[in-house]
Chains A and B, each alone.
Chain A
Amino acid sequence: MLKNPKVWVIVIAAIVMGALVKIFTPLSIEAVRASISFAPEQLFAPHIGGYVFSISNTMCTTWIAMLIIVILFFFGTRKMQLIPGGLQNVLEMLIEYLVGLAESVAGHRAMKFFAIASTIFILLLVSNLIALIPGFGPIGVIHLAEGEHAPQGITIIGDAPSIFETKHEPGQEGPILAPFVRAPATDLNLALALALISVVMTQVYGFQAQGARYLTRFFSFGRLLKGNIAFGLIDVFVGIVELISEIMKIVAFTFRLFGNIFAGEIVLLIMAYLFLVLPFPFYGLELFVAVIQAFVFAVLTLAFMTIASAEHEAGAEHH
């Protein structure tokens, strides 16, 4: 898709438009500060059946990404032809590439792990890329207190429709801009959800491949009970380290994804604040990071799953 020159022209035009917007409305540091928020902002809070559902902007963007994926795949695979063309060709190339990737990492177990890894890849790829469309980030709802003025660089178009219910934390200083569209990966909830699915499914596949023996990876008292105190204690210690490393995997997955994408957004924002054309090289870098993070999340998932279900041989050797 990126080989298509038309797509490139659209991307470049969008970058130029973003730059023009920044020329005419230079940012102030207050505007930058208002745009940066660690937590995703609440956009809607519909009351349904007595419950209040808080819907964040990252949630909306996740849905948009999901919708794009579903539409793409629905129209791409609706009328499958033996000789592919257009969209079907692109999607088939993507899937084929992912199958090849899974096979190169996981070998004969590839098709078992393929679905989760490639779902993570496709979801992250689409959501990271749509979040990089220029102009998506800075448009949103800003909550101004009584008598407060919007910081320089933020243009107030009008009153927000009443369906938007942004939160204003009591301790917060200054206004907060809640963008309509925010990169889903800058939501720790999504990152954590993906990490949880990845790590939990890794354990599930480990159990499936090795049965109860998989538990000896974490709780190996075999040598300790045989009376070999020194090595037994080492085994117990290694098991504890493995257990901690599984938990650290969740943390690492979460913060790697979140940190990269969130830092990318902040870098773009600060570069835009510092100088007009400075975001361009970083924009390219962020495109790269968006793809690499999706790729890395998928590959690491595959690799961990492969290690967890292939430890059978190593375990047999160990005992």
Chain B
Amino acid sequence: MDKLGINIPWLLAQLINVILILVLLRVLAYKPVLAMLDKRKKKIAESLEYADKVKADAAAQQKEFERKYEEQQREFNVRLQSSQQVAEQERQRIVADAHEEALKIKESARGELDYERNQMVAELRQQVIELSMLGAQRVIGANLDQQKSRQLVENFLNEVEFGGNGQKPALTKEGAGA
């Protein structure tokens, strides 16, 4: 044994060396490094979890947003439609009003026109009667019965009117009435 180099003191010394390095490595290496590896593993797991959570949150938010957006879109559409309807009704109402107004204006204008025309016709008739009476007086030289001659001219004029333009019933009626 001695020639092999094995002796008890050296063996004991090497045993102590090995046990010493075992303890030192346990304190210096395994504990901190394993703790760090564990910590890192946990951290990575945590951050992965967190990332998953964030992803899920984002997806949920996205869905929520889309849902809201759709809802708003739908609401908007509904509102748009209703406002379009309202606008259409308003338009129709306005158009109808305008139409009515225009008709009224037209009507009133026509009435005025008729009135003026009647006025003018009446005036003209008066003048024609007077002129014809004046002319006839001159021609005959006699003073005709005013009432009678007037009647005559008027009858004549009525006849003329009937023969020429029968579209003036108001005039004839009036004339006939007079």
Contact = CB atoms under 8 A, between A and B. Distances in A.
18 contacts: A39-B4, A54-B10, A59-B13, A62-B14, A66-B20, A70-B24, A77-B29, A82-B36, A116-B22, A118-B25, A122-B25, A187-B10, A187-B14, A188-B6, A189-B7, A189-B13, A192-B11, A193-B17
Q: Sort A-B residue pairs by CB-CB distance and give the 7 closest, nearest first.
A: A39-B5, A193-B14, A73-B28, A189-B10, A77-B32, A193-B15, A95-B33
A73 B15 contact: no
Nearest to A75: B28
B37 interface: yes
Given A69-B21, A197-B15, 11 more contacts: A39-B5, A62-B14, A66-B17, A74-B28, A115-B30, A118-B25, A122-B25, A187-B14, A188-B6, A189-B6, A189-B14
Contacts of A92: 33, 36-37
Interface residues of B, number: 32
B5 A119 contact: no
Interface in A157-216: 187-190, 192-194, 196-197
Contacts, number: 108
A253 interface: no
Contacts of B20: 66
Nearest to B44: A82
Given A59-B13, A190-B14, A80 B28 contact: no
A84 B36 CA distance: 10
Contacts of A118: 25, 30
**Which bucket holds chain A's interface residue count?**
35 or more
Interface of A is mostly: helix
Contact of A77 (B22, B28, B39): B28
B14 A54 contact: no
A258 to B, nearest CB: 9
A95 B30 contact: yes
Given A190-B14, A193-B15, A95 B4 contact: no
A286 B21 CA distance: 25
Contacts of A59: 10, 13-14, 17
Contacts of A91: 29, 33
A157 B7 CA distance: 32
A144 B10 CA distance: 25
B34 interface: yes
B33 to A, nearest CB: 4
